[in-house]
Amino acid sequence: MSYELNQTAGTMAPVCLFLFVALLVGRLPLAGTEEERVTPSSPSSSTTTDGFLSSNYSQLTLKVDFSSKVVEHEYIVAFNGYFTAKARSHFISSALRNTEGENWRIVQRENPASDYPSDFEVVQIRQDARSSLLTLQDHPYIKRVTPQRKVFRTLKLLSAGSDGSSSCNDTRWVQKWQSWQSSRPLRRTSLSLSSGFWHATGRHSSRRLLRAIPRHVAQILQADVLWQMGHTGSGVKVAVFDTGLSEKHPHFKNVKERTNWTNEKTLDDGLGHGTFVAGVIASMRECQGFAPDSELHIFRVFTNNQVSYTSWFLDAFNYAILKKIDVLNLSIGGPDFMDHPFVDKVWELTANRVIMVSAIGNDGPLYGTLNNPADQMDVIGVGGIDFEDNIARFSSRGMTTWELPGGYGRVKPDIVTYGSGVRGSGMKEGCRSLSGTSVASPVVAGAVTLLASTVLNRELVNPASMKQALIASARRLPGVNMFEQGHGKLDLLRAYQILNSYRPQASLSPSYIDLTECPYMWPYCSQPIYYGGMPTIVNVTILNGMGVTGRIVDKPIWQPYLPQNGDHIDVAVSYSPVLWPWAGYLAVSISVAKKAASWEGIAQGHVMLTVASPAENDSAVGGEMTSTVKLPVKVKIVPTPPRSKRVLWDQYHNLRYPPGYFPRDNLRMKNDPLDWNGDHIHTNFRDMYQHLRSMGYFVEVLGSPITCFDASQYGTLLMVDSEEEYFPEEITKLRRDIDNGLSLIIFSDWYNTSVMRKVKFYDENTRQWWMPDTGGANIPALNDLISVWGMAFSDGLYEGDFTMADHDMYYASGCSIARFPEDGVVIAQTLKDQGLEVLKQDTAVVDNVPVLGLYQTPSEGGGRIALYGDSNCIDDSHRQKDCFWLLDALLQYTSYGVTPPSLLHSQNKVTPPTGTDKPLPERLEGNHLYRYSKVLEAHLGDPKPRPLPACPHLSWAKPQPLNETAPSNLWKHQKLLSVDMDKVVLPNVRAYRPQVRPLSPGESGAWDIPGGIMPGRYNQEVGQTIPMFAFLGAMVVLSFFVVQLTKSRSKPKRRKPRIKRPLYLQQQQQQTPHTGKNPTV
């Protein structure tokens, strides 16, 4: 029995040792593992998003609606410089000296910036606003007067996958029509709260192969490698402009300052998003941030009621400049790139070396939806991807649209990173998961903060050099174009290598032009170039890491490679006269030389330019730093296609918001009333463009008046959703062109002056209710254009479902054809009178509404004309059902004269309307289209056309041929000068995160939880070796005692020898009676 017990004890000893070791190891973080725990924050008295997400959060999505309006009688008066409060008051008083004192006052702003000079003031004016504003603007020290703006947010919870909207095609759907307050933010709003994608991701959304990867984004991007090198963000000041942060949040140890810029008397976060953003950047435990030792500066610019003012941001920006902030995360944005006070202040911030990181918006997957200020050249614009490296559906796409009137947009976003299901700090404690580009933005802001702390010479770190390092090191995602991913996915370690061997220089974004590389170079790669085509324009950003200001020396040089047929192309360049702040543009126009009209092949060359900047540390007067960069160019040339295959898209006559109020084409989309996507074939008409290319058509863009193209080269001119007026010379030329064989297709939209008055809008610049300057399209202008053929559109407004040629169609706020030649073909449908619904909230069904017309002009060799009353079926913005089949049929008719039998013999064919019983639509009286038009100008009476502008003529660069071979592969990582990726060696580390250490005095708690604080203040080697030796020592001692215990129990007991007693004692014992125990020896 004793042997069996000893054997059991002997076998239990290693088991106990194993269990003890497993227990200790279980308390330590393992590389590649992660405890998926979400701890919702404590409920608060205020309405918080944490509270929303604490119950069954994985199945809910937080959707936010916005409204925006100006503050009555309040204006922002911007000055030409920074002045004290006394000086600002004196300037305003002198400007309004003829205004009674009780009719105006300066609004006091009690915030941390009040004690410093400022460049603006908020003034309340109660007298006649217009005269007072004009008086203020005339003062020499006052730069601009704009209204004070206020933004509201409304939070709604939706089931996962719901967008909260009813189908526009549902006949039971009823809408109350009313004047539109800005339900889509006219100005800047919080992207973090403006998206339906701010939600905690569900765990069981679909069946898929699970990947055992940690969800702490800092470790996924290998920030722990830099932590173990001793870099944790120390010495870098990072500002978070959001909803605030509670004072004793356990995740943060270095909150340097919390400031409140709102009218609420609190610094705490009542919504939870500001805490989340700050946690992604600088949390020290649980859901770890990138830079825990960075100096956090919290700017509370939104109230718990989700309200903010422009003046709050301007004051906070000024204070950030005063505090010499290094990195600023901005999770706000809007479509208005002409909001001058805000944009000017963003430029001023970056000019003061503040690295601004901003989200590009949550309006994807539609193209042309970039938000401002992320679309600016000096700001790092961030898009979102998921953990499978797929572009997030919500992430906005490029191109930038504010340059479209001048040619073409730029590549944005700059970079993408994880923005879907990212974990961050809860409002009070714990972690939660959110999605959106506002999540991706602090990921990059945290990475930038960490990277800045690794550079010994901080003078090298500026907005340009940091962007250069990020885009040069980014990992390109396969199968994704540049308007979705920018330069690729954030690569933290490669950016560290580049930044730590960086030398001030200039670089280009993109760094090369390859019109043969698909899909990355879409849309450039989607269509080859040919002789006689419109020049291809590539808008390149020049980044100047040498200084905040710079210039291009002499002129850029075009050098074609003769062995690679570079002399077959012509190149023209235009560029920024001054590079400020930190950046400029280089517009490259590419065309085919006449000698290559019938040639097919690849042509290559490069553009070379030199950038100069003042040398900041050069003692010599006028010293400059220079940097020379090359822009490789590679194009595919094909013979000029036949006229019938060439389609010309009229971009010149499309207008957009801003600057004016141009409404959406579909009036059902009341939550998105602004037409702000550019109406370009590469933005909201992208799918149509792709379809036409797949059908073999070559699509070119007309960015100048109709008088500026050779109509003999094109089969069809395509006009879609035109809002602009037409020069008389354009009308005359188009009539002549169509008589000579050019065909015309027009997709129109609604125009009704009564409806336009009904959907009036509060103009935040003039502080007046005003009507749209046009409807969905400018019908009166289009009628002037086509009146010579006896055609006209009506002011009717219709919608409804129908079938045409066996295709299901949806008519979304379209107009009808009022007049058409009697020998034309007209198709009619039964539709609902949407105009009646808008004006009188009544419903009516109208039979035989003419929607489609086809006409062959009578002149010999004349072209053909096709009219359709609605463009929504080819517009990506709010398309319900596409009508690309109809566009194919119309192009068959206009290009080849083939009338589709399904339309020619349709049962819905009707007699063409004469339109004599109703007057044609008139222009809205008192409209302000002339303010934004390229055609009209102000006049004492009605606006009159301007003089016809001269057609643009490019100045082609004189080639300097090179008789050498061009590089075969243009896509290689954008190596900056003097950067050798092999010179900077990273340490060989294994652990995903540093070991746990005791907290410093003043930090909450005696010890951190597992997987907690990152190293910062202690020597890195000591921090790693002490826990290792302590663990090994404990194991040795424990093993010694276990072995001793095992030995003592496993050996059999030895019997001690019995000593024989003397004979006389034995005899005595036998004689004595036994009375007790024998004595032991």
Catalytic residue among 199, 273, 606, 928: 273
Q: Which residues are registered as beta bridge partners of 798?
A: 814, 833
Helix spans in 914-955 (H) = none
CA–CA dist 158, 164 (Å, integer): 7
Nearest to 661 by CA among 927, 408, 367: 927
Q: Which of 1027, 1014, 1020 is nearest to 253 (CA)?
A: 1014
Give the H/E segment covering residue 90.
helix 85-95
Put the strands of the sheet holding 513-514 in their side by side order.
513-514, 624-637, 601-614, 551-560
The encoded tokens of residue 461 equal 């770190």
Specify whether the CB–CB gap between 330 and 442 falls below 8 A: no
Across-strand partners of 294? none
- Which among 273, 278, 284 is positioned nearest to 223, based on CA atoms? 284
Question: Residue 659, preceding bond cis, omega within 30 degrees?
Answer: yes
CB within 8 Å of 606: residues ≥ 6 apart: 559, 561, 630, 631, 632, 633, 966
Q: Catalytic: which of 182, 438, 509, 871?
A: 438
Which residue type occupies 475? R
Helices (H) and strands (E) in the chain, counts: 22, 41
Identify the active-site residue in 119, 224, 242, 339. 242
DSSP-derived pairing of the beta strands 716-720 and 60-83? unpaired
Question: Which tokens in the block code for residue 1060?
Answer: 């024989």
Question: Which residue spans within 692-823 are E strands per DSSP?
Answer: 698-702, 716-720, 743-747, 761-763, 768-770, 792-793, 798-804, 807-814, 817-819
* 118: annotated active-site residue: no
d(CA 775, CA 782): 12
Distance, CA of 545 to CA of 502 (rounded, Å): 10
Cα–Cα distance, 1062 to 1060 (Å, whole number): 7
| 8 Å CB contact between 190 and 49 | no
Q: In angstroms, rounded to a whole number, what is the distance separating the alpha carbons of residues 298 and 310?
A: 18
Closest by CA to 810, choosing from 818, 801, 819, is 801
Is 438 in the active site?
yes
Distance in angstroms (rounded) separating the CA atoms of residues 937 and 928 = 10
Q: State the DSSP H helix or E strand holding residue 224, giving kind and residue range, or none if neither.
A: helix 223-227
Has 942 been annotated as catalytic?
A: no
- Sign of the torsion angle spanned by Cα atoms 225, 229, 232, 235: negative
What residues are labeled active site? 242, 273, 438
